[in-house]
């Protein structure tokens, strides 16, 4: 199956291109961004050696759906989705923090809690909590946004003290983060899922704060199945979940956590296919729609044609 691991386009008006861990972002005339969701997959801030079929399509289409479904809450950057793997939108000046919001104690937060940590990004955590337990109220645990390497936890107080974001803008981001998480939680519940935690990125354009990048995808979010959650929690059993955590767990079981000297385990075709199926499963659960595979073997040609056509239409 065809996968899109890298791109090297030269679109009309292109000023630059940024190759992220998963996305390729093309700057058009310092005004428009073309964001291509590749099939690359990363974990522990490391890009894994093989692409996952249809992953880019899954991420892009989920993000587009949620950007549209939350446009009444917060203005967002999206203008069009000219291709299953592409979103075209407004170029904003991104804030140097990611807003992570957690409804449950799990993942990296649980690992830190287990190690004795009782304060996360300046937020005090009560004693006696258990893995996958719901917080009384969702907590916001921001991270710095690193161009390379690991994002670092940071508190609201440190962000303001260092002048990374102004108090006024940060308060808007906090308000939007809580409102988006509430909407995402409602939409997940309608599909029998729990939105456990997620991250949002924001930017600024013409003095206004915009939601940018993807939202509520399995790369940026964690979902539990609602059915059986309470029973599993009470028994101390792992939750059935839809997120990228299963990839992290597979890597941990194979002695890889992104640390120096560690080697990524072999990703067989069968393993990549199983990951692809999990991504498609999440798409179908969270959207309530059947996933339609775009099986074009010439992904790059298709994307280039669709993007150029879209850019020409935006000029009109």
Q: Which range marks the domain in which residue 228 is found?
A: 94-243
**pLDDT for the residue numbered 315:** 85
Would you say residue 8 lies in a domain?
no
Would you say residue 158 lies in a domain?
yes
Nearest Cα neighbor of 53 from 276, 300, 298, 281 is 276
**pLDDT for the residue numbered 181:** 98
**Rounded CA gap, 111 and 102, in Å?**
14
Helix (H, G, I), strand (E, B) or coil at 246: helix
pLDDT in tens, the chain (316 residues): 789 999 999 999 999 999 988 999 999 999 999 999 999 999 988 999 999 999 999 999 999 999 999 999 999 999 999 999 999 999 999 999 999 999 999 988 999 999 999 999 999 999 999 999 999 999 999 999 866 656 789 999 999 999 999 999 999 999 999 999 999 999 999 999 999 999 999 999 999 999 999 999 888 899 999 999 999 999 999 998 877 878 988 999 999 999 999 999 999 999 999 999 988 988 998 899 999 998 888 999 999 999 999 999 998 7
Nearest Cα neighbor of 293 from 284, 306, 303 is 284
- The CB-based long-range contact list for 249-253 (8 Å cut-off, 24+ gap) reads 251/43, 251/44
Distance of CA 119 to the CA centre of its chain: 24
Number of domains in the chain: 1
Please check whether residue 121 is in contact with residue 154, taking contact to mean a CB–CB distance below 8 angstroms: yes
Contacts of 238 (CB under 8 A, 6+ apart): 232
Distances (CA, A) of 85 to 115, 209, 211: 40, 25, 19
**Rounded CA gap, 288 and 192, in Å?**
10
Which DSSP symbol is given to 311? H
Contacts of 207 (CB under 8 A, 6+ apart): none
Would you say residue 221 lies in a domain?
yes
Would you say residue 258 lies in a domain?
no
Which H or E run includes 14?
strand 14-19
Please check whether residue 15 is in contact with residue 50, taking contact to mean a CB–CB distance below 8 angstroms: no
Please check whether residue 197 is in contact with residue 101, taking contact to mean a CB–CB distance below 8 angstroms: yes
Which residues on neighbouring strands pair with residue 202, listed in sequence order? 211
Would you say residue 302 lies in a domain?
no
Contacts of 235 (CB under 8 A, 6+ apart): none
Would you say residue 216 lies in a domain?
yes
Would you say residue 316 lies in a domain?
no
CATH code, 229: 3.30.470.20
- Dmax of the chain from CA atoms? 60
**pLDDT for the residue numbered 218:** 82
Distances (CA, A) of 114 to 61, 65, 236: 36, 36, 14
DSSP states along 75-133:
-BSEEEEEETTEEEEE--EE-SEEEEEEEEE-HHHHHHHHTT--EETTEE--TT--TTE
**Rounded CA gap, 286 and 242, in Å?**
10
Answer yes or no: pTM beyond 0.75: yes
**pLDDT for the residue numbered 149:** 58
Distances (CA, A) of 25 to 33, 50, 262, 267: 6, 20, 30, 26
Would you say residue 177 lies in a domain?
yes
Nearest Cα neighbor of 101 from 119, 121, 126, 117 is 121
**pLDDT for the residue numbered 150:** 66
Q: What is the 3-state secondary structure (H, E, C) of 172-229?
A: HHHHHHHHHHHHHHHHHHHCCEEEEEEEEEEEEECCEEEEECCCCCCCCEEEEECCCH
């Amino acid at each position: 199956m065809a996968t899109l691991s890298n791109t090297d386009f030269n679109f009309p008006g292109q000023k630059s291109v940024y190759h992220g861990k998963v996305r390729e972002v093309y700057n058009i005339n310092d005004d428009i961004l073309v964001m291509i969701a590749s099939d690359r997959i990363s974990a522990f801030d490391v890009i894994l050696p093989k692409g996952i079929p249809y992953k880019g399509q899954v991420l892009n289409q989920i993000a587009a759906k949620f950007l549209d479904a939350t446009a009444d809450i917060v203005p967002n950057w999206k203008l069009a989705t000219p291709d299953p793997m592409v979103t075209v939108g407004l170029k904003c000046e991104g804030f140097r923090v990611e807003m992570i919001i957690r409804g449950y104690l799990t993942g990296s937060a649980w690992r830190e809690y287990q190690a004795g940590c009782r304060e996360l990004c300046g937020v005090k955590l009560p004693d006696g909590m258990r893995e996958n337990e719901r917080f009384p109220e969702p907590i916001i645990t921001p991270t710095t946004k690193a161009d390379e390497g690991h994002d670092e936890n940071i508190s609201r107080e440190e962000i303001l003290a260092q002048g990374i974001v102004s108090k006024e803008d940060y308060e808007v981001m906090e308000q939007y983060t809580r409102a988006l998480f509430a909407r995402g939680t409602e939409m997940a519940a309608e599909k029998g899922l729990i939105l456990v935690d997620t991250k949002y990125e924001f930017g600024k354009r013409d003095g206004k704060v915009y939601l940018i990048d993807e939202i509520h995808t399995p790369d940026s979010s964690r979902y539990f199945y609602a059915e059986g959650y309470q029973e599993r929690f009470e028994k101390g059993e792992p939750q059935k979940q839809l997120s990228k955590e299963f990839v992290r767990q597979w890597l941990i079981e194979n002695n890889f956590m992104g640390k120096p000297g560690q080697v990524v385990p072999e990703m067989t075709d069968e393993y990549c296919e199983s990951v692809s199926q999990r991504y498609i499963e999440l798409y179908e659960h969270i959207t309530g729609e059947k996933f339609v595979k775009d099986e074009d073997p010439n992904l790059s040609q298709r994307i280039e044609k669709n993007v150029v056509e879209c850019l020409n239409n935006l000029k009109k």
